[in-house]
């Protein structure tokens, strides 16, 4: 039970921590928005869990997979909005970005945090597992917090060196990884056909190892990705990067012309 | 003069037929029970290069998450509920799965073989 709880934290809590620290490093410091969106996300997770039996029956029993995949897609689209916000300098856009970031964290809390609530709800009533459950929670939280601090420092350093586009790129890589991770949800409910395995690096870094878990969270690493996952990953990463690079160049040349 | 029209109509009918065949093609079902945090049967033999449907019946009082790294699948199965998961087409080999909430006991293997050794609904 102790190890299970720690692994559950690595798989489901770490993505929340990573997104929070990336966004915290990316946006100008304000603790209040973070507090509000964490509370909103926790409340949304509880509401989702409360209705999960009903959601699960939607679309011929595929409601959970579809809702989780749609939330990942929405988080990805919000990341693009966040990138667009960097090309704007108006103050109103800066406030709008806090809302976007808050929504991203809330949706991540719903999709990842709901797994926790299910796990704890199922086992918290059993007195014999309470001690390892709490110990596992403290260990898991400790690991997640340590990694979060390291990632925050790395993100801050990147922002100081290369500007806010560096932290936005980190967020984009993370979100693209999560989007690609959600693709098998559509395959498992038979909405899209499975494609062949592109390669297997199982012997190098297995999905089951700690590094496999960590790389999976940071950039969507999979030891044996399908061709569809690789295609989606490359397109979802390169197209926005190319578009925003072009927008940045254009705005730079326009401001140069004005002067 | 009607020949091109007939050809187009014929092709459309052929594609429609193939489309319907792919939709209506029966996907074999394999049933797994989860009781006392154990999968039964813990070894499922399925045919190679064919999509199959796993129906998992959680008879425990706690939820469980069906998880498999090699199959790239994860699905929460609520207490006293059933869940379906499509897997395959797969190459011959062994693909492990486990219950994420009880990985020490809830473990199983999907064995993919070229020849179909047992009837799907026998499980």
Q: Does B6 reside within a domain?
A: no
Q: Does B9 reside within a domain?
A: no
Please tell me the distance from the alpha carbon of residue B16 to that of residue B8, in angstroms, as a whole number: 12
Of A53, A61, A187, the CB nearest to B84: A61
Q: Are A137 and A5 in contact (CB under 8 A)?
A: yes
Q: Tell me whether residues A188 and B103 touch, CB distance under 8 A.
A: no
> Is it the case that residue B2 has pLDDT exceeding 80?
no
Please tell me the distance from the alpha carbon of residue A192 to that of residue A185, in angstroms, as a whole number: 9
- pLDDT per residue over B41-80, tens digit each? 999 999 999 999 999 999 998 888 899 988 889 888 988 9
Q: Does B57 reside within a domain?
A: yes
- pLDDT per residue over A60-97, tens digit each? 888 999 999 999 999 999 999 999 888 776 767 777 88
- The shortest C-alpha distance from A50 to chain B (Å) reads 13
Q: Does B3 reside within a domain?
A: no
Numbered residues of chain B with Cβ closer than 8 Å to any chain A Cβ: 27, 51, 53, 62-63, 65, 69-70, 72-73, 75-76, 78-79, 83-89, 100-103
Q: Does B55 reside within a domain?
A: yes
- pLDDT per residue over A6-42, tens digit each? 888 888 899 999 999 999 999 876 677 788 888 888 8
> Is it the case that residue A180 has pLDDT exceeding 80?
yes
Dihedral sign, CA of A137, A177, A53, A100? positive
Q: Does B67 reside within a domain?
A: yes
Q: Does B12 reside within a domain?
A: no
- Identify the pLDDT of residue B25: 59
Q: Domain residue spans in chain A?
A: 2-251
- pLDDT per residue over A161-171, tens digit each? 998 999 999 99
- Looking at the structure of chain B, the number of domains it has is 1
Q: Does B15 reside within a domain?
A: no
Q: Could you give the dihedral angle defined by the CA atoms of residues B51, B54, B55 and B60, in that order, rounded to the nearest 10 degrees?
A: -170
- The number of residues in chain B equals 123
Please tell me the distance from the alpha carbon of residue A202 to that of residue A180, in angstroms, as a whole number: 18
Domain that holds residue B78: 27-118
Q: CATH number, domain at B96?
A: 2.60.40.420
């Amino acid at each position: 039970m102790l190890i299970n709880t720690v692994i559950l934290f690595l798989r489901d809590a770490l993505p929340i921590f990573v997104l929070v620290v990336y966004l915290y490093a990316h946006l100008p410091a304000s603790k209040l928005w973070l507090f509000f969106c964490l509370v909103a996300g926790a409340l949304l997770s509880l509401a989702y869990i409360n209705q999960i039996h009903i959601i699960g029956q939607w679309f011929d029993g595929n409601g959970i997979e579809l809702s989780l995949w749609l939330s990942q897609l929405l988080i990805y689209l919000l990341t693009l909005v966040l990138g667009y916000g960097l090309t704007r300098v108006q103050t109103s856009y800066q406030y709008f970005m806090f809302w976007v970031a808050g929504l991203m964290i809330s949706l991540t809390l719903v999709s990842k945090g709901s797994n926790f609530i299910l796990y704890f709800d199922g086992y918290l009533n059993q007195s014999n597992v309470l001690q390892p459950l709490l110990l596992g929670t403290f260990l898991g939280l400790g690991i997640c917090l340590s990694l979060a601090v390291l990632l925050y420092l790395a993100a801050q350093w990147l922002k100081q060196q290369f500007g806010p586009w560096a932290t936005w790129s980190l967020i984009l890589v993370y979100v693209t990884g999560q989007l690609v991770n959600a693709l098998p949800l559509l395959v498992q409910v038979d909405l899209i056909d499975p494609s062949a395995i592109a390669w297997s690096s199982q012997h190098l870094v297995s999905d089951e190892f700690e590094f496999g878990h960590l790389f999976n969270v940071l950039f969507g690493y999979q030891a044996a990705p399908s061709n569809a996952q690789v295609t989606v990953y490359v397109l979802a990463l390169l197209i926005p990067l190319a578009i925003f690079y072009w927008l940045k160049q254009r705005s730079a040349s326009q401001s140069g012309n004005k002067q | 003069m009607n020949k091109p029209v007939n050809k187009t109509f014929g092709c459309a009918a052929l594609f429609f037929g193939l489309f319907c065949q792919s939709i209506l093609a029966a996907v074999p079902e394999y049933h797994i029970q989860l009781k006392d945090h154990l999968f039964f049967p813990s070894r499922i033999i399925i045919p190679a290069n064919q999509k199959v449907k796993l129906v998992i019946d959680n008879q425990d009082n706690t939820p469980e998450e069906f998880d498999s790294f090699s199959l790239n699948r994860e699905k929460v199965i609520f207490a006293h509920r059933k869940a379906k998961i499509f897997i395959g087409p797969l190459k011959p080999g062994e693909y492990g799965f486990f219950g994420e909430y009880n990985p020490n006991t809830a473990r199983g293997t999907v064995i993919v073989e070229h020849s179909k050794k047992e009837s799907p609904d026998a499980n």
